[in-house]
């Protein structure tokens, strides 16, 4: 190693799911939504005057913040927006986890949490889930510098009752609890109403999955005015203009059409439930996912073998060669037609 490299911050980065260049594939590997965003988003793109690009975007993204506030009936001062919820979570970690005590999160969860902890030098301890992948709230009733829970969890799809989440929040008045609700629109129950009861609760959401806008990069968080204020102070100490003007307008437009949103989410839920039955018939063991993906373990062949065989057939799903979850595949719920193609391929792979 060169001398200068000793002064370099070294990290092991998060590995996102593959985005194949070939568009002629069935992509069920990154939990994207198979349906387009609300038609109001198209209208923004068609009418956008490019001369507006001369100007910096609104630093507070007011139009977007106000539309989210109105949608959920909370005050605009209780909303933080970022470039995807990854950006929101990253700022939340940096701002809210500044203790010498370790932050806590499950051993099986979104694999970005330990990466942010490492890059920001936040001590952390992972807490084992039960063998059925559920959370035991009692495990979080110890000294800590913060708690992060994805609910429903990823990649397991398992939802924890709001009472379990509240139990964890109630036990931790001295640290911040982040609940990452990336998948909450596909089932389960939000703990959003608790933000008025607990000043130290942050609820994080994304446009990437239920709002079909992963490519736009919009995430947001809701919490007490105080918590959001601290996050904005850090954000404005790094980069004031993170979200571009077009994205802000498109995000606000999406919030305006709730019936379109519900319709596309309901289609995905229906396809998910049908897919669970079909996978069970194919001999998969799986959790009762409340998300837009299914966490399923093939019993006849190894998960890794099935993953590779699907890839040969241009069907991308997600596989992790990690303890505990190496027998599982995470399969994003696509359109009915995409899922039918998947089932045909699986029949061939498992029975061939």
Ligand X SMILES: *Cc1c(COP(=O)(O)O)cnc(C)c1O
Residues in the site for ligand X, rule: CB under 6 A?
Answer: 31, 84-86, 110, 150, 154, 180, 182, 206, 208, 214, 219
- The least CB distance from residue 110 to ligand X, in Å, is 4
With CB atoms as reference, the residue minimizing the distance to ligand X is 84
- The least CB distance from residue 278 to ligand X, in Å, is 24
Closer of 112 and 346 to ligand X (Cβ):
112
- The least CB distance from residue 86 to ligand X, in Å, is 3
3-state secondary structure of 48: coil
Contact 286, 294 (CB under 8 A): yes
Closer of 197 and 322 to ligand X (Cβ):
322
Contact 338, 313 (CB under 8 A): no
- The least CB distance from residue 47 to ligand X, in Å, is 26
273 Cβ contact partners less than 8 Å away, ≥ 6 residues apart: none
Please count the helices (runs of H) and the strands (runs of E) in the chain. 10, 12
Closer of 239 and 308 to ligand X (Cβ):
239
Closer of 110 and 295 to ligand X (Cβ):
110
- If one counts every other C-beta atom within 10 angstroms of the C-beta of residue 253, the result is 21
* φ, ψ (nearest 5 deg) of residue 236: -75, 0
| H or E segment to which residue 275 belongs | helix 258-281
Alpha-carbon distance 117 to 14, whole Å? 12
- The least CB distance from residue 154 to ligand X, in Å, is 4
- The least CB distance from residue 80 to ligand X, in Å, is 13
Supply the DSSP symbol for 80: E
- The least CB distance from residue 197 to ligand X, in Å, is 24
Closer of 265 and 349 to ligand X (Cβ):
265
Please spell the DSSP secondary structure of 35-68, one letter per residue. SPPPHHHHHHHHH--GGGGGSPPPTT-HHHHHHH
**Look-up of token digits 């950006």:** 87
- The least CB distance from residue 135 to ligand X, in Å, is 14
Is the bond into 347 cis (omega within 30 degrees of 0)? Answer: no
- The least CB distance from residue 207 to ligand X, in Å, is 7
Closer of 29 and 144 to ligand X (Cβ):
29
Closest CA to 152 of 285, 273, 290, 31: 290
Alpha-carbon distance 76 to 35, whole Å? 29
**Look-up of token digits 């001999």:** 283
Contact 176, 151 (CB under 8 A): no
Closer of 149 and 345 to ligand X (Cβ):
149
Contact 290, 152 (CB under 8 A): yes
Closer of 86 and 114 to ligand X (Cβ):
86
Closer of 58 and 214 to ligand X (Cβ):
214
3-state secondary structure of 222: strand
Largest CA distance in the chain: 60
């Amino acid at each position: 190693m060169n001398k200068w490299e000793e002064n370099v911050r070294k990290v092991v980065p998060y590995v996102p799911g593959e985005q194949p260049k070939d568009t002629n594939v069935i992509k069920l590997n990154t939990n994207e939504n198979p349906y387009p965003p609300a038609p109001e988003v198209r209208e923004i793109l068609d009418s956008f005057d490019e001369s507006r690009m001369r100007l910096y975007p609104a630093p507070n993204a007011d139009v977007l913040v106000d539309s989210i506030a109105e949608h959920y009936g909370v005050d605009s001062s209780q909303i933080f927006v970022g470039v995807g919820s990854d950006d929101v979570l990253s700022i939340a970690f940096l701002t809210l986890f500044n203790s010498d005590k370790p932050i806590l999160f499950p051993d099986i969860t979104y694999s970005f949490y330990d990466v942010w902890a490492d890059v920001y030098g936040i001590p952390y301890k992972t807490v084992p889930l039960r063998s059925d992948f559920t959370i035991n709230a009692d495990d979080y009733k110890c000294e800590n510098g913060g708690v992060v829970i994805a609910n429903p969890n990823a990649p397991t799809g398992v939802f924890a009752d709001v009472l379990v989440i509240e139990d964890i929040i109630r036990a931790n008045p001295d640290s911040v609890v982040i609940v990452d609700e990336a998948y909450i629109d596909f089932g389960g129950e939000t703990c959003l109403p608790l933000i008025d009861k607990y000043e130290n609760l942050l609820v994080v959401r994304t446009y990437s999955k239920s709002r079909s806008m992963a490519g736009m990069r919009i995430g947001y968080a809701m919490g007490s005015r105080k918590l959001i204020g601290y996050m904005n102070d850090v954000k404005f100490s790094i980069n004031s203009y993170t979200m571009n003007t077009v994205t802000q307008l498109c995000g606000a437009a999406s919030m305006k059409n709730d019936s379109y949103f519900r319709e596309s989410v309901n289609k995905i839920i229906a396809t998910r439930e049908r897919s669970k039955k079909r996978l069970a018939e194919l001999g998969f063991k799986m959790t009762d996912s409340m998300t837009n993906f299914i966490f399923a373990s093939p019993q006849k062949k190894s998960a890794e073998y099935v993953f590779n065989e699907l890839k040969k057939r241009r069907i991308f799903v997600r596989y992790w060669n990690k303890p505990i979850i190496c027998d599982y595949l995470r399969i994003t719920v696509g359109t009915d037609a995409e899922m039918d193609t998947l089932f045909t391929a699986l029949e061939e792979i498992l029975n061939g």
